[in-house]
Every structure is written in C-alpha cells, then in structure tokens.
Amino acid sequence: MSAPFAGRVAIVTGGSDGIGRATSELLAAKGAHVVVLARSMDKLEATRDAIIKQGGSVEIHSIDLSDAQAYADLVARIADAHGRLDMLVNNAMSVHYAPLDKLSLDHWRKDFAVNADAVFAGTKAAIAAMRKSGGGSIVNVSSTTAIRAAPFMTSYSASKAAMIQFSAVAAMEVARDNIRVNCVVPGQVQTAGNEDFARKAPEIAAKTAQAIPMGRGGKPDELAEAIVFLLSDAAAYITGVALPVDGGKSAQLYLPS
C-alpha cells in the first residue's frame, strides 16, 4: 500500500475498537503516525500491537473523553511533542438508551460531555495546532440518529445532531486556514456491540438489516475508508459536509407494506 500520509500525525479517539480501530489501522497503513485514544488499556494495547505487526507507527493514551479539558490538553501535548498535527478523528461516543421519562439528567449530560463537549474542546485544540503547521483535516463521527428520529435515543441523537452543526460552523471559520472539518454519518455498523446484539436477538437484527436499502449493516472498514477519504488530499475541496455512510438508510422514504 502506498504511503500518502507519510510524515503526518493523526489522532483518533475511540480508536481501539470498531470504526475507530479500523480507522487507526488504515491511517497507519497509509503512512501516518497514529495516536490512538480510548479508555480501555487492554484494547489500546491490542490495537497498538496489531498496527506495529503491520509495520505502522503508533502510540496510545488512555483517557476518559468526558473530561473535555483533559482531552484538549492532551491534544496540545501530542501536537507539541511531534511538532505538528495533521488529522483528528473524533470518534469516541457515549450513548444512553431509554424512554424520555426514564432518561436522567446525568445521562443526558454524559452523552453531551463525550459527543459534544469533548468534540468542541478537542477540535479547538487541534485547530490551534494545525494553524501552526499550515493546515489539517478533522472528521467527526456522528450518527443517522442525528438526522432521523428514533425512539429512546434522546440524548445521543441530540448530542450527535449538535456535532453536525458544530462541525459545519467550525468549517466556515477555519476554511481560509487550510483546515477542513467534516462529518461522517454512519448508520448501523457491525461493531462488536452490534454483533453481540445480533447473537442475542437474531430476529430483530435480521429485520433491522433488511430495513436498510442495501440489506445489511456496514462494516467498520467501510466507515474507515470514508473517514480516511475525507482526511485525505483527495477531498481537498470538501469541507462542512455531513456524509451519510449508511447503505442508503437516511435517504429512504418509509412506505408501510
């Protein structure tokens, strides 16, 4: 594989599992030095070992993204240590699934802390570093629940919707600094959590997959390809977009059978 990102530094949050791990591995395969952030040290170490085995350059840091200031400080330290920051992927997420009358304010605040506050703080720190090194690219990972309503997803949906509009505004503010800010909007993705759910409730999982126009959930690698495209020079004239990567689900008009 060619190394179009050779000499570049990338940070990926939630980078030790699912979409984040696939993105970290793909960035490393394309030559970037990847800084993987997540909470679980066991998963971080497994991701680091896999990237090293593939010949990639990587470092890992354990952090709870609900502490937005700690995240912003870490982004600044990473950029200072490497003398640059070229790419940031805000992929870490918090989700609470409950009907509105059962959802606590603490749950609402936790989802916003990770899905909105941390994205704000990390993006702000990244922009400061990218201005110093001549530009960069940021991709924030949202959700189709941010653009289509689903019951019991109040705090997750609202925080992911905030992410999309924040990204668009940030893109407008830094476009003249050679910094691009975009979102990907995943639908159902066959992460470890979804695979576990499918084993426990196969009939529901099958019906959910069949409701997607393409008839299946996405693969982490497919989301990683979209994220890395938006980070790359091939997307040099793309900023402020929210790109659905969902097998056609968000474009689908529901008609009862």
Structural tokens at position 22? 């696939």
Among candidates 41, 58, 140, 40, which has minimal Cα distance to 93? 140
Q: What is d(CA 43, CA 16) in angstroms, rounded to the nearest whole number?
A: 6
How far separated are the first and last CA of the chain, in Å rounded? 46
Among candidates 182, 159, 170, 167, which has minimal Cα distance to 93? 159
CA distances from 186 to 32, 220, 227, 231, 247 (A): 24, 10, 10, 16, 9
Among candidates 209, 185, 182, which has minimal Cα distance to 195? 209
Catalytic residue among 71, 156, 237, 254: 156
Largest alpha-carbon pair distance within the chain?
58
Does residue 156 have an active-site annotation? Answer: yes
Q: What one-character-per-residue DSSP string does 176-190 give?
A: GGTEEEEEEEE-SB-
Residues annotated catalytic, as ranges: 156
